[in-house]
A and B are shown apart, each in its own frame.
Chain A
Amino acid sequence: MLQRMLKAPGPASMGRAEVDAYQAAVAHSARVRKLRIWLPIGAVVISAIFISVSVIRAYLPENLSVESARIEDGKIVMERPAIAGRNDDGISYSMTAVRALQDIANPNMITLEDVKAAVPLNVNTIARVVATEGIFDRGTDRMELTAPFDVNLSNGTTAKFQSAQLDVVAGTLNTDDPVSIDTEQASIVAQSLKITDKGRTITFAGQVRVNIEAAAIRNRGS
């Protein structure tokens, strides 16, 4: 009803001032009517944006940085991806690769080429992994190393693997293929290895051979 009146110059009996005031009131209520519609819509839109940003933030690990990315035959090819984060004990872990291929159909699985990873096994031991190829499952933070690779522990121990499954966050590593570990005073060779309990329990199985250098005994003997 008011719209109709809006067009009309105002009731004939009203003076000029009254007409202006009246039209201002009508315009205001029109504005309020508009706002009553747009304000809620605006609120919804803004919160939607906010939610989507945080969802993406959750999926795309914020600690993943990529130099450049392009799509090539159904795969996202990332150059120099680097991922970092903290494990349960708050010790930082990091992983970089020369190239990463992420299947668009299954975005959690990332194939990494020429990987370098620093995995905290426990408070005072960090394992540095250098591997030619690895498949990283972002959903479980687990890495499947399919090609032979080396692990250098910060306590001077070096380990040579044929393959392994590495849980970056939990700090566990196991392999069913031969492994050899060398320290200054001893060397251990076995058919399989499991490092669990954040590096505190190391289990070798299958034809275990341990060689302890004479030096290790000498300081004990004298």
Chain B
Amino acid sequence: QATTSQMDGMRLSNDEPIQIESDQLEIKEQEKKAYFTGNVKVVQGTTTMRAGKMTVLYTGEGASMTGGNADIEKIYLDNKVLLNSGTQQATADKGEFDMPSQTFILTGDQVVLSEGPNVFKGCKLTVYMETGEARLDACGGRVEILLDPKSRQQQ
């Protein structure tokens, strides 16, 4: 049983650059992989994402990260993922960006999505980046929803 909500911040805005910060970056040109390790922080527009480690897979014939003609295919996030987007925040153990399908999936024993005062808990959060729609799955268990009474009056 799932709950959906809107994460506009996660809609992949194509007109804003991405800044990535980390302690180390290792680029393996042959494997077409870039490993960001240590306090990884990714910022695009109003969305900020933090993780312990981020692995970027890129494609493109002869593509090279330093050559600049690399197309990002997939991004894997590990060691605690924290996503901040506007009033919404999500925490999980792992994250995965799949660029071709434009989906961003957060997984973990406990994926917590909070919107303002409301908190939703599940084990998988799927964000469709084209629309910004977010789906939190309980995978068998029950999605825990803690609605802040005050917020209910506002709706």
Using known A-B contacts A155-B66, A210-B20, determine if residue A217 contacts B26 with beta carbons closer than 8 Å. no
**Chain B residues touching A, majority SS:** loop
Asked if B28 is at the interface (CB within 8 A of a chain A CB), the reply is yes
Tell me the A residues contacting B by CB distance below 8 Å: 122, 124-125, 153, 155-157, 181, 183-186, 188, 190, 199-214, 216-222
Shortest beta-carbon distance, B149 to chain A, in Å? Answer: 40
Range, interface on chain B: 20 to 34
> When chains A and B are docked, how far (Å) is the Cα of A213 from the Cα of B69?
12
- Identify which of A181, A185, A188, A200 contacts B29 (C-beta below 8 A): A200
**Interface centre among A206, A207, A214, A220, by most B CB within 10 Å?**
A220
Stretch at the interface among B9-17, B86-94, B113-121: B9-17
> When chains A and B are docked, how far (Å) is the Cα of A186 from the Cα of B68?
6
Whether B25 and A185, one on each chain, are in contact in the complex, defined by CB atoms closer than 8 angstroms, is no
Whether A201 and B69, one on each chain, are in contact in the complex, defined by CB atoms closer than 8 angstroms, is no
Shortest beta-carbon distance, A217 to chain B, in Å? Answer: 6
**Interface centre among B29, B66, B99, by most A CB within 10 Å?**
B66
- Identify which of B17, B25, B99 contacts A208 (C-beta below 8 A): B25
Whether B64 and A217, one on each chain, are in contact in the complex, defined by CB atoms closer than 8 angstroms, is no
> When chains A and B are docked, how far (Å) is the Cα of A146 from the Cα of B16?
38
For the complex of A and B, the 5 pairs showing the least CB-CB separation, nearest first, are A183-B68, A155-B67, A210-B20, A221-B14, A185-B68
Whether A188 and B18, one on each chain, are in contact in the complex, defined by CB atoms closer than 8 angstroms, is no
Instruction: Find the B residue at minimum CB distance from A206.
Output: B23
Residues of chain A within 8 A (CB-CB) of B72 are 216-217, 220
Whether B12 and A221, one on each chain, are in contact in the complex, defined by CB atoms closer than 8 angstroms, is yes
- Identify which of B17, B24, B26 contacts A214 (C-beta below 8 A): B17
- Identify which of A155, A181, A203 contacts B26 (C-beta below 8 A): A203
Using known A-B contacts A124-B62, A184-B68, A202-B29, determine if residue A212 contacts B17 with beta carbons closer than 8 Å. yes
